[in-house]
Amino acid sequence: MRKIAIVGSPNVGKSVIFNNLTGTYADVSNYPGTTVEVYRGKCKIGGEEFEVIDTPGMYSLLPISEEEKVGRSILLAESPCVILHVVDAKNLARMLMMTLQLLEAGMPVILVLNIFDEAEGLGIDIDLDKLAKELNIPAVKTVGTTGAGMDILRGKIEEHVKRFC
């Protein structure tokens, strides 16, 4: 079964995106040798079933904390065919460093700009098409708490899998 990994800083809505994709079904387990919890579930996209992995919060691929070590290990050892990098749209500039690290490592990234409703409420204007073109990856606006943008995200995942996996 192909895998989708969800990565990003703490408090950006990774788990809400995970719940939206999987229908809130999750197997919770501690990563071997640690007390760090990793959530796994399944979803169906484009007629194919995927395992979805909600990784612990991480700021970088250069791990400092145990959580970041676990997140990096999952990305390297389990070779997901899609990595959803979930970022807080209100703090996009600060969060793009990890996006660039993922891309430099040759990982299959889709950028998920979550909490987009709050960014717009603050007057933050993000040209999604220009951002996607500059990074050369798909980018999607979502509001995980309402499910806004989830259909578009599923479509981007399906397109990505057809082209690259």
pLDDT in tens, 42-71: 999 999 999 999 999 999 999 999 889 999
Work out the pLDDT band at 38, boundaries 50, 70, 90: confident
CA angle (118 as vertex; 112, 124 as ends), nearest 5:
80
Q: Residue 102 pLDDT > 60, yes or no? A: yes
How long is the chain? 165
Integer Cα distance of 139 and 113 in angstroms: 7
Residues with Cβ within 8 Å of 123's Cβ and at least 6 positions away in sequence, in order, are: none
The pTM is what?
0.93
- 67 vs 110, higher pLDDT: 110
What are the residue ranges spanned by the domains of the chain? 2-164
**CATH number 3.40.50.300 given to 2-164:** yes
Torsion region of 109: left, alpha or beta (phi above 0 gives left; psi -120 to 50 gives alpha): beta
pLDDT in tens, 134-155: 999 999 999 999 999 999 999 9
Mean pLDDT of the chain: 92
Residue 87: what pLDDT? 98
Residue 31: what pLDDT? 55
Paired with 4 in beta bridges are 52, 82
Residue 35: what pLDDT? 53
Print the SS3 string covering the chain.
Answer: CEEEEEECCCCCCHHHHHHHHHCCCCEEEECCCCCCEEEEEEEEECCEEEEEEECCCCCCCCCCCHHHHHHHHHHHHHCCCEEEEEEEHHHHHHHHHHHHHHHHCCCCEEEEEECHHHHHHCCCCCCHHHHHHHHCCCEEECECCCCECHHHHHHHHHHHHHHHC
